[in-house]
Homo-oligomer: A and B are copies of this chain.
Amino acid sequence: MSRQVTQRDRIDARREQWARELPEVDTIGMAILGRARWITLKVRPRIEAVFAARELDSGELDVLATLLRSGRPYRLRPTELYRSLMISSGGLTARLARLERAGLVARSAAEGDARSVLVELTKEGRRRAEAAFREDMALEAELVGGLTVAEREQLAALLRKVVVSLDDEDAGAAARG
């Protein structure tokens, strides 16, 4: 049985610096959340470039992709969108204005609730979202290609556990709250 020894990375180096400077501080959180953040930041410009080639930024594509994966008729309310995207309602309004100006989404009055609005993907919006998403997924698959299939599955499962525990916290807080 051979134990997989992974090479030391820059987060290890950082933790060692902290161990010298503040030895009593436990930096396990950084080993996970710090790496997650580093990976996210590192990968972002390359993904952003995929979208830029289609005259979109990742924020705009997030909106289009959320609509696309919701399935026909590719239509959601702003509130559903900004909650799913984890941005402010004001931020979403601005994104929608840009996307509408570009002809990629259309806003119409929601029947049933006159306060609300329906945001729908246009034909061109759907086309653009689909192409960008395909290319993005091809790139992201390549970016995790340094792991074996088994490692990828294991990593996804462990991350899933973190996602679930962070979500449960909210649920608990809401229940208590």
Contact = CB atoms under 8 A, between A and B. Distances in A.
A144 B162 contact: yes
Given A20-B71, A151-B158, A161-B151, A33 B40 contact: yes
A143 B142 CA distance: 29
Q: Contact residue range for chain A?
A: 35 or more
A18 B136 CA distance: 13
Contacts of A68: 21
Contact of A166 (B4, B39, B69, B161): B39
A90 to B, nearest CB: 16
Nearest to A142: B29
A93 B127 CA distance: 41
Given A68-B21, A69-B21, A151-B158, A33 B143 contact: yes
Nearest to A24: B134
Contacts of A164: 6-7, 9, 146
Contacts of A43: 33, 166
Interface in A118-177: 130, 133-134, 136-147, 151-152, 154-168
7 contacts: A6-B164, A9-B164, A11-B160, A12-B160, A21-B68, A25-B133, A42-B163
Interface of A: 4, 6-12, 14, 17-18, 20-22, 25-43, 68-71, 86, 130, 133-134, 136-147, 151-152, 154-168
